[in-house]
């Protein structure tokens, strides 16, 4: 994850101090949540990570739950936005599935810290339960499309549509465990993932 963009100002002692806004503080919070876990992260941790006082942090947000909801909303809006794109509703069910999988990978890699946080929530707070409900709704939309593709004979008949949907989801979501943009981008990753889920990995004999 890149460092959050900040401005600086000169304090009375002549030193430069970072000046954060709500967006850059959100980036700091997401990094801490992913490193420590949401429950184990305190406002003290967040203020230290940002290099500002807790009172300065509270000037921008009411608390860490507000930050969590904003972060999860960003990830969820990115995913649900895919379903509203014209190509997500155009063509055969298989065409649409391939398009959605490709775009999921692009959203995940583009907003990696936020999607990582989304995929790690466990429902311990009201905000987390809200996020899990929306994730289930997204997964249900994909599962319905897989069922449509199965009815059209466009996915393997020897694997149930439910299993296919779970395998697709697992393949895409596993990227958060190993993708590290700072080690160099993988511009072909979205197409590679689509190719893998379409054609498989192991050669056939």
Asked if 115 and 131 count as a contact pair (C-beta separation under 8 A), the reply is no
H helices within 22-151, ranges in order? Answer: 22-36, 43-50, 54-60, 64-83, 93-110, 112-120, 126-151
Mean pLDDT of 118-131: 96
- Of 127, 109, 110, 131, which Cα lies nearest the Cα of 119? 131
Which pLDDT tens digit goes with each residue over 75-91? 999 999 999 999 999 99
Distances (CA, A) of 118 to 10, 19, 29: 37, 27, 13
Supply the pLDDT for residue 12: 46
Mean pLDDT of 122-141: 96
With cut-offs at 50, 70 and 90, classify the pLDDT of residue 31: very high
On the question of pLDDT at 190 being above 90, the answer is: yes
**Residues 34, 40, 41, 44, CA torsion sign:** negative
d(CA 193, CA 171): 8
- b/e sequence 176-187, b meaning 16+ C-beta within 10 Å: beebeeeeeeee
Which pLDDT tens digit goes with each residue over 96-121? 999 999 999 999 999 999 999 999 99
Supply the pLDDT for residue 1: 36
Supply the pLDDT for residue 130: 98
Domains of the chain: 7-61 (1.10.10.60), 65-199 (1.10.357.10)
Supply the pLDDT for residue 23: 86
Q: How many CB atoms are closer than 10 A to CB 168?
A: 22
Q: How many CA atoms lie within 13 A of 105 on its CB side?
A: 25
On the question of pLDDT at 187 being above 80, the answer is: yes
With cut-offs at 50, 70 and 90, classify the pLDDT of residue 57: confident
With cut-offs at 50, 70 and 90, classify the pLDDT of residue 182: confident
Which pLDDT tens digit goes with each residue over 166-175? 999 999 999 9
Mean residue pLDDT across the chain: 88
Supply the pLDDT for residue 4: 40
**Residues 79, 84, 87, 93, CA torsion sign:** positive
Supply the pLDDT for residue 94: 96
């Amino acid at each position: 994850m890149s460092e959050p963009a900040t401005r600086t100002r000169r304090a009375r002692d002549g030193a430069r101090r970072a000046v954060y806004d709500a967006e850059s503080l959100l980036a700091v919070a997401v990094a801490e949540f992913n490193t420590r876990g949401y429950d184990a992260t305190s406002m003290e941790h967040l203020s230290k990570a940002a290099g500002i006082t807790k009172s300065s942090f509270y000037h921008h947000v009411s608390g860490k739950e507000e930050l969590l909801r904003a972060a999860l909303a960003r990830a969820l809006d990115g995913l649900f936005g895919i379903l509203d794109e014209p190509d997500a509703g155009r063509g055969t069910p298989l065409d649409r599935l391939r398009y959605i999988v490709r775009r999921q990978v692009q959203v995940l890699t583009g907003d990696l810290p936020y999607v990582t946080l989304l995929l790690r929530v466990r429902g311990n707070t009201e905000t987390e339960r809200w996020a899990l409900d929306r994730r289930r709704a997204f997964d249900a939309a994909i599962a319905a499309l897989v069922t449509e593709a199965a009815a059209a004979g466009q996915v393997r008949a020897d694997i149930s549509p439910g299993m296919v949907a779970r395998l697709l989801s697992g393949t895409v979501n596993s990227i958060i465990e190993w993708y590290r943009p700072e080690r160099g981008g993988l511009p072909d990753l979205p197409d590679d993932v689509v190719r893998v889920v379409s054609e498989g990995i192991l050669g056939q004999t």
